[in-house]
Structure 1
Amino acid sequence: MSNKIGAEKNSNAIIGAWAKFKEKHPNTAQFLVFFILSNGITVLQMVLMPIFKDIFGHTSLVSTNFQVLKVGHNFDGSPYYVFNYAAGSISAGGGGGLAYFLAVQITMAIAQIINFFVQRNITFKSKSNIWKAAFWYVVAYIIISIGAAALQGLYKAPIYNLLMNTLKMGSVGETIADFITMIINCAISFWVFFPIFKVIFKDESQK
């Protein structure tokens, strides 16, 4: 009984301390909540990504080339694509094809849908028009996804090559590279989305 009372007192003390901190530093507290929830969403993506990759990896979509939005050339003269998923498995020297693209995008879509609601309801406690907020969220998501995909051309291939070939880690290296590229994507989204959320989740009453 005494242990239960002690635990309850500790819990109340923590809640009270957080309430005081939140009152004194509302923006910092909001960012911390955003940070914690975003990391939870990142973990979810790291769980989902291998699942979808494995599912699509057993389909003919791996052999379906998906290289779109050409924007210039790489240093070696080859075309530079925003979405660069050449046909063939990554272990065989390909880019994962349409299968890898779908695995990434479905994982991110599920994560961002969940992220939209938890950030709106928990972090920002927004009462703004949900449809208007959702519209601008989708617009931001598309723009950020295109930007993040374009940046992948700078680090994706080197990371996979380093882990799979240079360090000769094979399939283990491929899995680690999957996680690293996913974390980089999440990091980009994290820093870009926070100021966007501050705008789209702003209550109409605050205007």
Structure 2
Amino acid sequence: MTKRAGTGAQGGGVLGRWWDGFSSRHPRASTWIREGGLFIIISYLVTFFKYLIMLFLPNLFGLGLAGNGWGWPDATFTVAGVTFTFNVLGYAPLLDGAGQVVIGGGLGYCLAVWISIILGECVNFPLQRRFTFKNSGPLAKQVPIYAVGVLVVNLALNAFNSVWTGLAQYLVPPAVYNIVTTVVAGGICMVVFFVIDKIIFAPGFGRPKRR
């Protein structure tokens, strides 16, 4: 039995043929859509991987490190009658209703967060490079820029959270607090890293220009 032309024998069916046609008519737009979609999928998979690490790692560091409220610059401010501690790096200890230290804060939590970030990005970087952007550029130039981006973005995010969490728990409803935290931690961070990846994984990045 022979298949009629144009019935999906080639090109992956109707959707495949539509995408092939769209890609040929709008190559730049199709590239952005494909890269953006894969970037989001991989980013969420890596986020889930980090989440799994955070399920157990803070507990491994124990209550001793959880009660160590190390942070930098550890500056105390009062805004609108609310006192909070500003930290670019580190977390205050987390206490229960009885004032006892519990897992989820302090130096132990800080170490767990950064270990999960490092391990997560060690997975994220090669996946985005290989599958999303299909890049084979010079790692010696890509990795340092990516590492600096990871450091700066996460320090800025931690600084924001130290202020936002300190104020928001007293000034806004929990629903608003959670929405803003999610948008900033997830959405904005994802956009920033997509831009970084588009730069360092661009064709010709880090390669000497031909004369």
- State the TM-score, normalized to the length of structure 2: 0.70
> Which ranges of structure 1 fall in alignment gaps of 5 or more residues?
1-8, 168-176
Change (3 A) 1:72 1:62: closer
- Tell me, in whole angstroms, the C-alpha distance in 2 between the residues paired with 1:97 and 1:18: 50
> Do the aligned partners of 2:69 and 2:91 also contact (CA within 8 Å) in 1?
yes
Structure 1 match to 2:202: 202
Change (3 A) 1:153 1:144: same
1:183 CA drift (Å):
7.9
Between Structure 1 and Structure 2, which shows a larger proportion of helix residues? 1
- Cα deviation 1:145-192 (Å, max 9, x = unaligned): 111011112333567789xxx99xxxxxxxxx8xx9688534332111
The one of 83, 108, 133 aligned to 2:117: 108
Within 5 Å, give how 1:49-68 maps onto structure 2.
Answer: 49-56=54-61, 58-68=62-72
Structure 2 match to 1:171: none
Change (3 A) 1:89 1:102: farther
Change (3 A) 1:78 1:34: closer
Structure 1 match to 2:3: none
- Tell me, in whole angstroms, the C-alpha distance in 2 between the residues paired with 1:190 and 1:33: 12
- State the TM-score, normalized to the length of structure 1: 0.72
Change (3 A) 1:160 1:93: farther
> Which ranges of structure 2 fall in alignment gaps of 5 or more residues?
1-8
> Do the aligned partners of 1:81 and 1:150 also contact (CA within 8 Å) in 2?
yes
**Does residue 31 in structure 1 map to residue 40 in structure 2?**
no
SS at match of 1:204: coil
Within 5 Å, give how 1:75-90 maps onto structure 2.
Answer: 75=79, 76-89=82-95
The amino acid of 1:197's aligned partner reads D
- Cα deviation 1:69-102 (Å, max 9, x = unaligned): 2467241355422234123556747671100111
The amino acid of 2:35's aligned partner reads Q
- Tell me, in whole angstroms, the C-alpha distance in 2 between the residues paired with 1:21 and 1:66: 54
Change (3 A) 1:160 1:44: farther
> Do the aligned partners of 2:83 and 2:166 also contact (CA within 8 Å) in 1?
no
- The more displaced of 134-143 and 61-70 is 61-70
CA RMSD of aligned residues (A): 3.5
Structure 1 match to 2:130: 121
- Tell me, in whole angstroms, the C-alpha distance in 2 between the residues paired with 1:65 and 1:128: 42
Structure 2 match to 1:189: 189
> Do the aligned partners of 2:11 and 2:20 also contact (CA within 8 Å) in 1?
no
> Do the aligned partners of 1:70 and 1:80 also contact (CA within 8 Å) in 2?
yes
SS at match of 2:87: strand
Give the share of equivalent positions with the same residue, in percent: 23
- Tell me, in whole angstroms, the C-alpha distance in 1 between the residues paired with 2:138 and 2:49: 27
> Do the aligned partners of 2:85 and 2:162 also contact (CA within 8 Å) in 1?
no
